[in-house]
Amino acid sequence: MTLILTSSSYLVTQDFLQYLPDSPTNLKLTFIPTAAEVETGEKSWLERDKQALIKAGFKFSEFSFTGKKKKQVEQMLKRTDVLFISGGNTFYLLQEMKKSGFAELIHQYKDLIYIGSSAGSLVAGPDISLAQNLEDTSLAPDLEAYSALNLTDVIVLPHWGVPHFAADYEKVMKKAYQTQHKIILLRENQYVVSKDNKLQIISILD
């Protein structure tokens, strides 16, 4: 499985296209907005991610894990080449991934391309515990454990260097220093590509 993990996908979309196996016009992309469903206020970041994908040439369908059965998720995965997991609340996203059966099924689809933006990147790692100081955990009352998808053994913490998150990240770093997991602090102009157990951090020059 190829992973492309971003902080804000729309800022790096044009650059990560080089790691796709075919032109976006020939790939079936499914856009997953689940993490954003519990966010309030304007969601301009979500629309920017969508518009960047459209500009790149993707024609995509949307699918939410919320309220879905395992069979529905399985049917979606079978018709998908590229899975785009949007930003939002990581805890709610993981809760619905587990309830719908996605967290179990995803490991069967080795040829899938997984693109994460913010929460979608964080949940791809082994654990989301470090996000407790960044997000509202009460939005996921049915989430019993913070073990995540484990598609990579690295925890990607998005939006590093963004002033809005500075105070919260001070708290996160105290816990991060004690964790045994590998961590990547990902800036807005960076993204991670992981394939065949090889991982690269790509930085786009301003």
pLDDT tens profile 168-204: 787 787 777 777 889 999 999 999 999 887 899 999 9
- Percent of the chain topping pLDDT 70: 100
pLDDT tens profile 92-126: 999 999 999 999 999 999 999 999 999 999 999 99
> 206 pLDDT band (50/70/90 cuts)?
low
**CB within 8 Å of 166: residues ≥ 6 apart:** none
The burial of 205, by beta-carbon neighbours within 10 Å (0-12 exposed, 13-18 middle, 19 or more buried), is given as exposed
* Model-wide pTM > 0.75: yes
CATH number for the segment(s) 2-203: 3.40.50.880
End-to-end CA distance of the chain: 29
pLDDT tens profile 17-31: 999 999 999 999 999
2-6 and 190-195: which strand pairing?
antiparallel
